[in-house]
Amino acid sequence: MDNEKSAVERLKEKIEASYKAKYDYWMKQSPEWLVTMADEIVAVKQMREDLADYVKEEDAEYLLRFKDPLEVVSDYLVEMSGLHSDIGDSLSHTLWELRDKQAAEQDYELEPEFASVDELPQPTTPTQTQQMSM
Protein backbone atom coordinates (compact mmCIF):
# COMPACT_ATOMS: atom_id res chain seq x y z
CA MET A 1 0.00 0.00 0.00
CA ASP A 2 1.29 3.45 -0.89
CA ASN A 3 0.20 4.91 2.44
CA GLU A 4 2.59 2.57 4.26
CA LYS A 5 5.57 3.81 2.26
CA SER A 6 7.41 6.93 3.29
CA ALA A 7 7.12 10.02 1.13
CA VAL A 8 10.78 9.57 0.13
CA GLU A 9 10.09 6.01 -1.08
CA ARG A 10 7.04 7.15 -3.04
CA LEU A 11 9.05 10.01 -4.53
CA LYS A 12 11.78 7.57 -5.62
CA GLU A 13 9.17 5.46 -7.42
CA LYS A 14 7.64 8.52 -9.08
CA ILE A 15 11.09 9.74 -10.16
CA GLU A 16 11.97 6.35 -11.65
CA ALA A 17 8.72 6.21 -13.60
CA SER A 18 9.25 9.75 -14.89
CA TYR A 19 12.85 9.02 -15.84
CA LYS A 20 11.87 5.87 -17.74
CA ALA A 21 9.28 7.82 -19.73
CA LYS A 22 11.77 10.59 -20.48
CA TYR A 23 14.46 8.08 -21.44
CA ASP A 24 12.10 6.27 -23.82
CA TYR A 25 11.22 9.63 -25.39
CA TRP A 26 14.89 10.60 -25.77
CA MET A 27 15.72 7.34 -27.53
CA LYS A 28 13.24 8.26 -30.26
CA GLN A 29 14.82 11.66 -30.93
CA SER A 30 17.43 12.69 -33.48
CA PRO A 31 21.08 13.11 -32.49
CA GLU A 32 20.81 16.82 -33.29
CA TRP A 33 17.89 17.23 -30.89
CA LEU A 34 19.75 15.30 -28.18
CA VAL A 35 22.78 17.58 -28.51
CA THR A 36 20.53 20.63 -28.26
CA MET A 37 18.88 19.25 -25.15
CA ALA A 38 22.07 17.95 -23.50
CA ASP A 39 21.94 20.36 -20.53
CA GLU A 40 18.39 19.39 -19.66
CA ILE A 41 19.12 15.69 -20.10
CA VAL A 42 22.13 15.92 -17.80
CA ALA A 43 20.06 17.77 -15.18
CA VAL A 44 17.30 15.14 -15.32
CA LYS A 45 19.83 12.32 -15.05
CA GLN A 46 21.61 13.99 -12.14
CA MET A 47 18.37 14.63 -10.27
CA ARG A 48 17.27 11.04 -10.84
CA GLU A 49 20.53 9.80 -9.33
CA ASP A 50 20.86 12.26 -6.46
CA LEU A 51 17.52 13.77 -5.47
CA ALA A 52 16.19 10.92 -3.34
CA ASP A 53 19.48 10.71 -1.42
CA TYR A 54 19.26 14.33 -0.30
CA VAL A 55 15.55 14.94 0.04
CA LYS A 56 13.95 15.09 3.49
CA GLU A 57 10.54 13.64 4.22
CA GLU A 58 8.83 17.06 4.18
CA ASP A 59 10.57 17.92 0.89
CA ALA A 60 9.39 14.63 -0.61
CA GLU A 61 5.83 15.34 0.54
CA TYR A 62 5.99 18.73 -1.18
CA LEU A 63 7.41 17.29 -4.43
CA LEU A 64 4.80 14.52 -4.52
CA ARG A 65 2.18 17.21 -5.14
CA PHE A 66 3.52 17.55 -8.69
CA LYS A 67 2.69 15.21 -11.53
CA ASP A 68 6.38 15.15 -12.54
CA PRO A 69 8.61 16.17 -9.62
CA LEU A 70 11.71 15.14 -11.58
CA GLU A 71 10.89 17.72 -14.24
CA VAL A 72 10.15 20.39 -11.64
CA VAL A 73 13.48 19.99 -9.87
CA SER A 74 15.65 19.43 -12.96
CA ASP A 75 14.12 22.45 -14.77
CA TYR A 76 14.81 24.58 -11.72
CA LEU A 77 18.38 23.25 -11.55
CA VAL A 78 18.96 24.25 -15.19
CA GLU A 79 17.43 27.67 -14.53
CA MET A 80 19.55 28.23 -11.41
CA SER A 81 22.73 27.23 -13.20
CA GLY A 82 22.07 29.99 -15.70
CA LEU A 83 22.26 27.74 -18.73
CA HIS A 84 19.23 29.41 -20.30
CA SER A 85 19.85 32.92 -19.12
CA ASP A 86 21.89 35.67 -20.69
CA ILE A 87 25.38 34.30 -20.47
CA GLY A 88 27.00 37.67 -21.11
CA ASP A 89 27.75 38.56 -17.49
CA SER A 90 29.13 35.18 -16.51
CA LEU A 91 31.16 34.91 -19.71
CA SER A 92 32.60 38.39 -19.19
CA HIS A 93 33.57 37.43 -15.65
CA THR A 94 35.12 34.16 -16.85
CA LEU A 95 37.21 35.94 -19.48
CA TRP A 96 38.32 38.55 -16.96
CA GLU A 97 39.39 35.78 -14.53
CA LEU A 98 41.33 33.98 -17.25
CA ARG A 99 43.22 37.12 -18.23
CA ASP A 100 43.74 38.32 -14.66
CA LYS A 101 45.07 35.08 -13.17
CA GLN A 102 46.77 33.82 -16.32
CA ALA A 103 46.56 30.26 -15.01
CA ALA A 104 45.45 28.98 -18.41
CA GLU A 105 48.91 29.77 -19.78
CA GLN A 106 50.28 27.17 -17.37
CA ASP A 107 47.61 24.55 -18.00
CA TYR A 108 47.04 24.78 -21.75
CA GLU A 109 49.37 24.76 -24.72
CA LEU A 110 49.89 28.14 -26.37
CA GLU A 111 50.30 28.79 -30.06
CA PRO A 112 54.06 28.94 -30.81
CA GLU A 113 54.01 32.66 -31.60
CA PHE A 114 52.59 33.39 -28.12
CA ALA A 115 54.92 31.17 -26.14
CA SER A 116 58.14 32.86 -25.06
CA VAL A 117 61.39 30.94 -25.28
CA ASP A 118 61.46 30.68 -21.47
CA GLU A 119 58.03 29.00 -21.46
CA LEU A 120 58.83 26.37 -24.07
CA PRO A 121 59.74 22.99 -22.62
CA GLN A 122 63.45 22.38 -22.98
CA PRO A 123 64.51 18.98 -24.26
CA THR A 124 66.38 16.98 -21.68
CA THR A 125 68.77 14.11 -22.02
CA PRO A 126 68.58 11.06 -19.78
CA THR A 127 71.66 12.34 -17.92
CA GLN A 128 70.04 15.72 -17.27
CA THR A 129 66.89 14.00 -16.02
CA GLN A 130 68.90 11.93 -13.54
CA GLN A 131 70.81 15.02 -12.32
CA MET A 132 67.56 16.96 -11.86
CA SER A 133 66.06 14.22 -9.72
CA MET A 134 69.05 14.18 -7.34
pLDDT of residue 11: 93
32 located within any domain: yes
16 located within any domain: yes
Structurally, the chain folds into a number of domains equal to 1
Average pLDDT over residues 97-122: 73
77 located within any domain: yes
Of 13-17, 32-36, 100-104, the one with minimum mean pLDDT is 100-104
21 located within any domain: yes
43 located within any domain: yes
pLDDT of residue 116: 72
19 located within any domain: yes
Domain region containing 44: 7-81
Q: How far apart are CA 81 and CA 124, in angstroms?
A: 46
Q: What percent of the chain has pLDDT over 90?
A: 42
104 located within any domain: no
Contacts with 2 (C-beta within 8 Å, 6 or more apart), sequence order:
10
Of 17-26, 43-52, 54-63, 92-101, the one with minimum mean pLDDT is 92-101
Based on the number of CB atoms within 10 Å of its own CB, is 69 exposed (0-12), middle (13-18) or buried (19 or more)? buried
101 located within any domain: no
